[in-house]
Amino acid sequence: MLRIGHGYDVHAFAEGRKLILGGVDIAYERGLDGHSDADVLAHALMDALLGAMRADDIGQLFPDTDPAYKGADSLKLLSEVAALARKQGFTILDVDCTVAAQAPKLAPHRQAMRENLAQAMGLDVSQVGVKATTTERLGFVGRKEGIAAWSVALLDDGCC
């Protein structure tokens, strides 16, 4: 049977942090705040996968109160989630993501993000979509207070 999952995440901008999106280190005046590397795109994608698996969400799986995940590389966590999915008999068929950021411009980094996310999940890049949008200066994203990301994932649960 096919299973779908949806994930959503938001991180606020903060001074003195790197901006990591889809595992790409993007040059910008600020980064995203968080316990891990705050890769909001990878986080939304993990929750989409976990949603399709009907598993615990990333907050339960990788608690931000756990020092083990301080500064964690979110692509490594994504690899763990993909491995967990495979171990439970799931096949990840297709994922698609949207990142909303007023700044910086993300279009030049889309392909690198797709490649990083695909590699972390053991997928072909053709199975991973990443799109970027602004919010026309509306809301917290438009005011450049943070970045939001959404993701959907389609998994085969291996049952007939």
Binding stretches for Mg ion (CB under 5 A): 9, 43
Q: Give the N- to C-terminal CA distance of the chain in Å, as an integer.
A: 6
Complex with Mg ion: residue 43 or 110, whichever CB lies closer: 43
Angle at 16 between CA 13 and CA 20, to 5 degrees: 60
Complex with Mg ion: residue 9 or 72, whichever CB lies closer: 9
Task: Quote the least distance from Cβ 59 to Mg ion, whole Å.
Answer: 8
Ramachandran bin of 29, using left for φ above 0, alpha for ψ from -120 to 50, beta for the remaining angles: alpha
In contact, 58 and 50? CB cutoff 8 Å = yes
Complex with Mg ion: residue 9 or 109, whichever CB lies closer: 9
Mapped onto helix, strand or coil, the DSSP state of residue 114 is: helix
Complex with Mg ion: residue 104 or 146, whichever CB lies closer: 146
Task: Quote the least distance from Cβ 9 to Mg ion, whole Å.
Answer: 4
Complex with Mg ion: residue 43 or 109, whichever CB lies closer: 43
Output the CA–CA distances (angstroms, integers) from residue 35 to 23, 48, 65, 141, 151, in the order listed.
16, 20, 8, 20, 21
Task: Quote the least distance from Cβ 131 to Mg ion, whole Å.
Answer: 19
Q: What's the rounded Cα separation, in Å, for the pair 20 and 116? A: 12
Task: Quote the least distance from Cβ 58 to Mg ion, whole Å.
Answer: 7
Task: Quote the least distance from Cβ 52 to Mg ion, whole Å.
Answer: 18
| Closest CB to Mg ion: residue number | 43
